[in-house]
Amino acid sequence: MMTTISTPNAPAAIGPYSQAKVVNGMVFASGQIPIVPATGEIAEGDITVQAEQVMKNVGEILKAANCGYEDVVKTTCFLAEMADFGAFNAVYEKYFTGKPARSCVAVKTLPKNVLCEVEVIAVQKA
């Protein structure tokens, strides 16, 4: 069985995709960028500010899927600049204390020219 996750507490999709899908207890969340859900605007600031907003958005999607950060088994992180790796990690490690598997890459450009994007795969709570 497959279900779609949608919450107003995280940014609406800016394209033809959903916030997340759940298949057999596995949550596959779309990449989150630092959009403030209440305003639809990008969180203004450096990588630390933007990463914090991304983590909040990820958390809201996990919550809507009956999960938490501790249930994440894999993350994929995209950075606009690898020079931001250390500052991004400082934010990331506050949320993903269980140290899920991870990939982190720098890319040429992210949607809306943000500094970071994170997608996750999690396991729903029983």
pLDDT at 93: 98
Residue 1 pLDDT exceeds 90: no
Considering only CA atoms, which of 51, 111, 113 is closest in space to residue 86?
51
Burial label for 13, CB within 10 Å (0-12, 13-18, 19+), is exposed
In Å, how far from its chain's centre is CA 71?
A: 13
Q: What is the pLDDT of residue 109?
A: 95
> What does the mean pLDDT of the chain come to?
96
Residue 8 has pLDDT above 80, yes or no: yes
Q: What is the pLDDT of residue 125?
A: 83
CA 86 to chain centroid: 18
Residues serving a catalytic function are: 104
**Average confidence (pLDDT) over 2-29:** 95
Average pLDDT estimate for 23-46: 97
pLDDT tens-digit series, residues 58-88: 999 999 999 999 999 999 999 999 999 999 9
pLDDT bracket for residue 15 (50, 70, 90): confident
108-123 confidence digits (pLDDT tens): 999 999 999 999 999 9
% of the chain exceeding 90 in pLDDT: 95
Structural domains of the chain, with CATH: 2-123 (3.30.1330.40)
Q: What is the pLDDT of residue 62?
A: 98
Given a cut of 80, whether residue 126 has pLDDT beyond it is: no
